[in-house]
Structure 1
Amino acid sequence: MKNQEPIALVSGSDDAYTLPLAVTIASAIKSLSADRRLDVYILDGGISDASKRRLLASWEDPRVSVQWIPVSRESFERFPVSHHINAATYMRLAIAEYLPASVQRAIYLDADMLVRQDLGLLWDEPQGDAALLAVQDYAAPFIDASTCLTNFEQAQPYLAAVHPIANFRELGLPADAPYFNGGMLVIDVKAWRERNLAKHLFECLEEHREHVLWWDQYALNVVLAGSWRSLDLRWNQGAHLYVYPSGEHSPFDSSTHRAIVEDPWIVHFCSPDKPWNYFCRHPYTDAFRKQVRQTDWHGWKPERPDEFMRRWWGHHYKPARERWKTQVRRIKENFRSRNRAA
């Protein structure tokens, strides 16, 4: 279908994140069906001209256009950051203000992803009246996981947060509402403009600063509560999936857990353990680095860290220790179950 509308794809970074940005967009192009087109919009938080040339070389494809949108990071620097999250992460909150007026709908991807499925399928998802389509967060799946998970006792030790919005009761949010990850979003840009959501999102961060967890994701889940629809979990496989030792300990049923482990459609490296670091245990590290070799960074190698032997020991010892601890937990759980049955 040659007359299909192009997919509006948005991502962004500063100059420090250009290698993973190259992989994110290149993998989306590689997975795209032949009859689809991509209009790529990059929120430019300080990407150098040299890096832009390398990115364009990495994304060269007749189906793809690229537009750079300069974004000043100064307006975001008053918001909290961490060692692997900087002010650029807040750019997505103002996405509707930055995109050209002609763009009415867009897919947003964080710049630390590996796309393994045709984004045309995601684009074809009906938006309906939802301002946003997103994927439930693997690390904190509900506003109050303690009331929603039937296996809460088993899952709790591995959840990143039981209450990702600590003041949900004061805000009037239902305890059983799902909580989404902000790394992959299908946005009704027109609705965001009409509702002036950028203003409301930043006001939320200011007003509830003491409760903010996970940066801009707090504001997205508060302001868009009840205005978003959940997508197939495979569209945003969060790194926290691998924290759960088994499907029984995860927030998902066994068939869903198996599907997102075996066939993620987008892999999201949303933890400090990044595949461009020398030591990375993520199962898709090799796939990420293979994609790097197909970009203009094809000669890249991860930098050998300081205190190499200490880090090497931790890299190999920690997984073995975690496996041992998991086995001990299972033995204790089985023992308790037998005692209750008796």
Structure 2
Amino acid sequence: MNFRELVLKKEGFCLERAQEGDFHIGVGVGPDLIATLGIMLTSIARNNTKRGVHMYFLATAIEKKDLDRLQKMVEEHKNICLEILYIDAEAVKRIIGEGMPVATFYRLLLPRVLDPSVKKAVFFDVDALCLGSLDEFEKYSFDGKAFMAVHDTLSGNTIKQHRKDIGIPADSKYFNAGCLYIDIDRWNELELTEKAFQTAYEWQQQGKFLWFFDQDALNIVAHDQWKELPYKFNLMIPVLREELHGKLPEDTVIIHFAACYKPWSLWTPEGDDFSKYCVELDIYNDYRSKSLWADFKGKPMNTMGKRLFSKWMLMQGNVWLAIKWQWKYLKDKLSSKCNC
């Protein structure tokens, strides 16, 4: 099909700044994540002042007040231009079938809807921050592969079982799709967008479930068509905490708050408990305070966040905080059962 027909309209800010040597970045976003998008964009702009960055937002809708703030942000950073592509969500839903979040599949549209003159692009999840130069991506060669990605943090038997469940060969790795560096011509030559959409549809028709939605679909169809990047291009919090012991490497380019590690879902009046142990929260709050979304506080810490923080404190040897937050977690669990 012609995927360009899924783009209902386009609009942009400061597109006259666009130049041939710009770095191209795509983001798929839902209406409830515009603030996190703006904070992420701020991190990109502040760490890439010497190069033009052409941003593409693939969205269903964006409210006027959010557009106004995005426009102001782009105007303040002279190296950024922004193009918004409004996607026909109902049409995408018909392609992939019911039962999966539509916006998460927008990333797979990126190579099919960009101008043909764009040869390489990076897709970011909205729950990420850029901490370094995007030029680092260009130090790596695709070597005939369609895209580059980072090995996912699912560990041990978990990743082995998941590969088996979705039919990936035992000798293939499973990547995280939160940051994809894409060779657009090669991707389109292999028809990865079409194949991933078809896979998602077929799994649903067969009554099977893809736990990680588009990420699973892409792993299924492209398990042998990607090249591995080091963790610095998609540093996920479990790696930061468990392998790096909470110490952020200086060469980190992208930090990714995947799964239950969203900083905006960890607000608590007891935030001082975190300041010493969760460097990622300090980093996020620093960029938030420097952005036009400094007023965005997020949501109170959820039950899973309390459990994860308790586990992290135990790993750090802080038994008191581990017990404190495990107790808060158990109180939440008990309360939810009583309310059922």
Q: Same fold (TM over 0.5)?
A: yes
CA contact (8 A) 1:15 1:51 kept: no
Distance in 2 between residues matched to 1:167 and 1:29, nearest whole Å: 40
Q: Tell me, yes or no, if structure 1 residue 179 matches structure 2 residue 174.
A: yes
Secondary structure at the residue paired with 1:58?
helix
Residue identity matched to 1:207: E
Q: Structure 1 stretch 21-30 or stretch 204-213: which is displaced more?
A: 204-213
Helix, strand or coil at the partner of 2:143: coil
Change (3 A) 1:314 1:50: same
Q: Deviations over 1:165-217 (max 9, x none)?
A: 3345xx5x431222110000011112222332211111111223415231111
Q: Residues 19-39 of structure 1, C-alpha deviation per residue, up to 9 Å, x if partnerless?
A: 1111212111111152x1111
Contact persistence 2:147–2:187 (CA under 8 A): no
In the other structure, the counterpart of 1:266 is 254
Between the aligned partners of 1:311 and 1:221, the Cα distance in structure 2 is 27
In structure 1, distance between residues paired with 2:49 and 2:121? 18
The residue that corresponds to 1:190 in the other structure is: 185
Q: Which of 295, 299, 303 is 1:299 aligned to?
A: 295
Of the candidates 212, 231, 234, which is equivalent to residue 232 of structure 2? 234
Change in Cα spacing, 1:137 to 1:320, as seen in structure 2 (3 Å) is: closer
Partner of 1:340: none
* Unaligned stretches of 5+ residues in structure 2: 1-18, 320-340
Q: Which residue of 2 aligns with 1:335?
A: none
| Residues 10 and 317 of structure 1, relative CA distance in 2, 3 Å threshold | closer
What's 2:164 paired with? 166
* TM alignment of 1:239-318, pairs within 5 A: 239-241=237-239, 244=242, 247=243, 257=244, 261-263=248-250, 264-277=252-265, 278-279=267-268, 282-304=278-300
- Contact (CA 8 Å) 1:11, 1:108: kept in 2 or not? yes
Deviation at 1:242, TM superposition (A): 5.3
- Give the aligned partner of residue 106 of structure 2: 91
- The code of the aligned residue for 2:282 comes to D
1:44 and 1:69 in contact (8 A); partners too: yes
1:314 CA displacement: 6.4
What do the CA deviations read for 1:47-105 (whole angstroms, capped 9, x no partner)?
Answer: 11221221232233222111111112223443544xxxx42111111212222222222
TM-score (norm 1): 0.73
- Provide the secondary structure at the position in 1 that maps to 2:186: helix
Separation of aligned partners in 2, 1:312 and 1:198? 34
Q: d(CA) in 1 for partners of 2:170 and 2:83?
A: 41
SS of 1:166's partner is helix
- Stretches of structure 1 that go unaligned for 5 or more consecutive residues are 146-155, 248-256, 327-342
- Aligned residue runs from structure 1 range 28-177, under 5 A: 28-34=44-50, 36-59=51-74, 60-77=76-93, 78-81=97-100, 86-140=101-155, 145=156, 160-167=158-165, 171=167, 173-177=168-172
Q: Distance in 2 between matches of 1:288 and 1:323?
A: 21
Q: Distance in 1 between matches of 2:111 and 2:309?
A: 44
Contact 1:239-1:271 within 8 A present in 2 as well: no
Count of aligned pairs between the two proteins: 285
Give how far 1:293 is off: 1.6
Taking structure 2 as the reference length, the TM-score comes to 0.73
Percent identity, aligned pairs only, is 21
CA apart distance, 1:276: 1.3
Secondary structure at the counterpart of residue 218 of structure 2: helix
Alpha-carbon spacing, 1:243–1:164, altered in 2? closer, same or farther (3 Å): farther
Q: Residues 61 and 321 (structure 1 numbering): CA distance in 2 closer, same or farther, change over 3 Å?
A: closer
